[in-house]
């Protein structure tokens, strides 16, 4: 075995793929398949496979690799140390975990997704781009985020520029991404970074967690991807992969702790940012919710749950969403202006613009037109109910909005906390999707 390995052995620095800067914290912007002279050598791959075959099934999980390695012939131990040198992988990792980390990094080098916010060749990831993309990607798909990320980066190329922007402009640019609290937090966070951190994102976990809109996942992603720290990044994709890899059949959210522990065990000390993105990519492209592509998975040999993959992670049945109902007052002047107001800063759709309405409540639809009109901010000459209702679904409830259209005189002043907007001007307002649906209904259906 020793001679066979020695015959194959290339210089040690060819075993592990480094970024072309020699910097472990980042990687090139394109998969290794697209690059010349950066591929891991074929014989290194063969050697790695040989070692994996020999050692992989025999390695036991333990707190430190030493006792495991001593169970093997010294020549094999020497080769393993050349493949997984201390300092590159966490000394708390088992050999099996180190193997898995290495396998998925190899896979990532070939198959990773090319995305706008990933650092190009030889460039350290920009914490601003990492933070911005991670906030945008919360509850939103990569395909949706792309154009928004491009617009934000071109309009506000630095965190200082974003901090200096008007909140209304940020909310307006955010339209369509949903969950507008994220946009308000984005703006607040940019201001705090500019004013309290000298325009630089902090690297410390506690400091990151103190920022608005930055929770444990985002803080870990920023630490790993932007700063190359060993941080455990767990999103929905990672949870799915861990549940399947370790065949965890308890339902979410009860099993979250176990899944995080598994993710922690597997996270290497080297290229932690690439590793985090590799597992996310695996979950997004191979270990997908339905019909996972196990044949293409770098972890297929170790996966304990692939025969029941589609049922994992298990989830407790979701309770039915309640329905809230309300009535919108679409109040027009003869020149076509319509009355709008800003929602309170805190709470659902905080700071966004809307058309005046009754409170949105669960239960039966509120009374008849004359009873409803008493809640309107202005008295119309006549109220016209528009046929049908506007439906919208939020995270925790469904919304049904009835629309009442009323006309007032041209010289009618807007009550306090409201103002007039032209129909064309509506497109410049930070109107949430539910209100856009209302506008379409009122303009097209009345
Ligand atoms: S083998 Fe299949 S189920 Fe297991 S991690 Fe890979 S893609 Fe997911």
Cβ–Cβ < 8 Å for 15, 82: yes
Domain harbouring 279, CATH code: 1.10.340.30
User: Ligand 1: which residue has its CA nearest to atom 1?
Assistant: 300
From 291, 311, 331, give the residue that closes a domain: 311
Most informative mutation of 300, 307, 311 for ligand 1 (most atoms within 8 A of CB): 300
Q: Are residues 192 and 271 in the same domain?
A: yes
Tell me the C-alpha distance between 171 and 182, whole Å: 10
- For residue 299, give the ligand 1 atom closest to its CA: 6
Instruction: Say whether 134 is catalytic.
Output: yes
* 252 pLDDT more than 60: yes
* 335 pLDDT more than 80: yes
Residue 270 lies in a domain: yes
State in Å: Cα 230 to ligand 1 middle.
24
How many Cβ atoms from other residues are within 10 Å of residue 431's Cβ?
23
Residue 92 lies in a domain: no
Q: From the candidates 134, 239, 248, 332, which is the catalytic residue?
A: 134
DSSP lists the bridge partners of residue 390 as 401
What's the domain count of the chain?
3
State in Å: Cα 357 to ligand 1 middle.
49
Q: What pLDDT, in 10s, does the model give residues 397-431?
A: 999 999 999 999 999 999 999 999 999 999 889 89
- For residue 240, give the ligand 1 atom closest to its CA: 8
From 55, 83, 111, give the residue that closes a domain: 83
Q: What percent of the chain has pLDDT over 90?
A: 61
Q: Are residues 76 and 131 in the same domain?
A: no
* 190 pLDDT more than 90: yes
How many Cβ atoms from other residues are within 10 Å of residue 378's Cβ?
18
Which pLDDT score, from 0 to 100, does residue 95 have?
65
Could you tell me which residues come within 8 angstroms of residue 38 by beta carbon, excluding any fewer than 6 positions away? 17, 20, 28, 32
- Residue 33's domain comprises 2-83
Mean predicted confidence (pLDDT) in 24-34: 43
Q: Are residues 303 and 327 in the same domain?
A: no
Q: Are residues 270 and 419 in the same domain?
A: no
Secondary structure (3-state) at 33: helix
Mean predicted confidence (pLDDT) in 308-319: 93
Q: Are residues 306 and 332 in the same domain?
A: no
Assign 81 a pLDDT band (cuts: 50, 70, 90): very low
Q: What pLDDT, in 10s, does the model give residues 94-110?
A: 666 778 889 999 999 89
Cβ–Cβ < 8 Å for 208, 201: yes
State in Å: Cα 315 to ligand 1 middle.
18
State in Å: Cα 248 to ligand 1 middle.
13
* 179 pLDDT more than 90: no
Residue 97 lies in a domain: no
Q: Are residues 334 and 259 in the same domain?
A: no
Q: Are residues 266 and 343 in the same domain?
A: no
Assign 120 a pLDDT band (cuts: 50, 70, 90): low
Domain harbouring 354, CATH code: 3.90.79.10
Q: Are residues 264 and 293 in the same domain?
A: yes
Q: Are residues 328 and 304 in the same domain?
A: no
Q: Are residues 198 and 295 in the same domain?
A: yes
From 279, 311, 343, give the residue that closes a domain: 311
Q: Are residues 179 and 270 in the same domain?
A: yes
- For residue 292, give the ligand 1 atom closest to its CA: 7
Q: Are residues 268 and 360 in the same domain?
A: no
């Amino acid at each position: 075995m020793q001679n066979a390995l020695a015959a194959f052995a290339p210089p040690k620095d060819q075993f592990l793929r480094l970024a072309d800067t020699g910097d472990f914290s980042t990687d090139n912007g394109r998969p290794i398949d697209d690059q010349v002279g950066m591929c891991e050598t074929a014989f290194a791959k063969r050697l790695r496979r040989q070692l994996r075959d020999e050692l992989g099934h025999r390695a036991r999980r333990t707190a430190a690799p030493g006792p495991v390695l001593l169970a093997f012939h010294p020549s094999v131990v020497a080769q393993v140390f050349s493949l997984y040198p201390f300092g590159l992988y966490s000394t708390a990792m088992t050999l099996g975990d180190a193997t898995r980390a290495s396998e998925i990094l190899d896979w990532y080098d070939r198959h990773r997704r090319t995305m706008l916010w990933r650092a190009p060749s030889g460039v350290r990831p920009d914490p601003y781009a990492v933070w911005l993309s991670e906030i945008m990607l919360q509850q939103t798909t990569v395909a949706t985020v792309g154009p928004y990320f491009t617009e934000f980066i071109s309009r506000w190329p630095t965190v200082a520029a974003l901090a200096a922007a008007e909140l209304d402009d940020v909310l307006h640019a955010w339209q369509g991404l949903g969950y507008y609290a994220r946009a308000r937090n984005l703006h607040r966070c940019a201001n705090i970074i500019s004013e309290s951190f000298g325009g630089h994102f902090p690297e410390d976990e506690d400091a990151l967690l103190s920022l608005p809109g930055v929770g444990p996942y985002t803080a870990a992603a920023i630490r790993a991807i932007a700063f190359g720290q060993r941080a455990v990044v767990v999103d929905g994709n990672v949870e799915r992969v861990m549940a399947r890899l370790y065949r965890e059949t308890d339902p979410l959210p009860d099993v979250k702790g176990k899944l995080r522990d598994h993710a922690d065990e597997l996270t290497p000390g080297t290229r932690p940012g690439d590793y985090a993105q590799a597992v996310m990519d695996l979950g997004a492209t191979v270990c997908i919710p339905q019909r996972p592509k196990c044949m293409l998975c770098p972890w297929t040999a170790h996966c304990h749950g692939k025969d029941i993959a589609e049922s994992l992670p298990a989830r407790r049945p979701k309770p039915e969403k309640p329905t809230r109902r309300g009535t919108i007052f679409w109040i027009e002047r003869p020149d076509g202006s319509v009355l709008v107001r800003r929602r309170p800063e805190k709470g659902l759709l905080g700071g966004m613009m809307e058309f005046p309405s009754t409170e949105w409540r669960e239960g039966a639809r509120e009374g008849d037109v004359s009873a409803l009109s008493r809640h309107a901010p202005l008295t119309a000459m006549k109220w016209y109910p528009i046929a049908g209702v506007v439906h919208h679904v939020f995270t925790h409830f469904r919304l049904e909005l009835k629309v009442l259209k009323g006309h007032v005189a041209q010289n009618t002043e807007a009550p306090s906390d409201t103002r007039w907007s032209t129909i064309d001007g509506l497109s410049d307002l930070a109107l949430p999707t539910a209100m856009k649906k209302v506008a379409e209904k009122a303009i097209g259906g009345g």
